[in-house]
Chain A
Amino acid sequence: EVQLVESGGGLVQPGRSLRLSCAASGFTFDDFAMHWVRQAPGKGLEWVSGITWNSGNIGYADSVKGRFTISRDNAKNSLHLQMNSLRAEDTALYYCARGGIESNLDYWGQGTLVTVSS
């Protein structure tokens, strides 16, 4: 059974940093691209970042480019999102999702909540 479990969320002050992690199990991790998607309270979905299986291709939403860094550790079946210079508008539930073979997001974690506030 595919499982994705996010961690690392919490309350952080504007301008500070936070590192999210996603532990993957139930599939061959280094066969798949991985992504982060976020959802602000009461709002829709926003794709944040994605990384191919070998980290050879990485993409970011314009809203986080230059502040967030995605990475993965295939030996540990884990995905990470380093978030720097956090802003109030980064407050959201952050989901880890697997990139399906057909260019989709076929499995999702339950999310970890990031709140940016002074």
Chain B
Amino acid sequence: DIQMTQSPSSLSASVGDRVTITCRASLSIRTYLNWYQQKPGKAPKLLIYAASSLQSGVPSRFSGSGSGTEFTLTISSLQREDFAAYYCQQTYSAPWTFGQGTRVEIK
């Protein structure tokens, strides 16, 4: 199975900060990489698919980049509603696997 490793596991940031989360795959997954946001008590929400494509309705402050084994999710200017957990997911090969998650907290 392909292992997905996110870093950091958690971070504290202030409103307006630029935030970057990294996801590494144990082998090349080309651009079969998605990012999800999950708020407490809610279902996950798709933010970015195919490594860098913004899902419809998602604010443009979210962006994704990378290919192969290293990927990043960037929030250009953190808003209060962005405090949540973020997960990467590979869909290059079954079984699909998620990273362990990154919790973004208020500083």
Residues of A within 8 A of B (CB): 35, 37, 44-47, 50, 59-62, 95, 100, 102-106, 108-111
Contact = CB atoms under 8 A, between A and B. Distances in A.
Nearest to A108: B43
Nearest to A111: B43
B49 to A, nearest CB: 4
A60 B52 CA distance: 27
B36 A109 contact: no
| A contact patch SS | strand
B98 A44 contact: yes
Interface residues of B, number: 24
B55 A44 contact: no
B1 interface: yes
Interface of B: 1, 32, 34, 36, 38, 43-46, 49-50, 53, 55, 87, 89, 91, 94-101
Given A102-B50, A103-B32, A108-B45, A45 B87 contact: yes
Contact of B95 (A61, A100, A111): A61
6 contacts: A47-B89, A103-B32, A103-B50, A103-B91, A105-B46, A109-B43
B98 A45 contact: yes
| B contact patch SS | loop
B64 to A, nearest CB: 12
B49 A45 contact: no
Q: Which of B45, B46, B101 has the most CB of A within 10 A?
A: B46
Given A44-B99, A45-B87, A46-B98, 10 more contacts: A45-B44, A47-B89, A61-B95, A62-B1, A95-B43, A102-B53, A103-B32, A105-B46, A105-B89, A108-B45
B7 to A, nearest CB: 14
Given A102-B49, A102-B50, A108-B45, A59 B95 contact: yes
Nearest to A103: B91
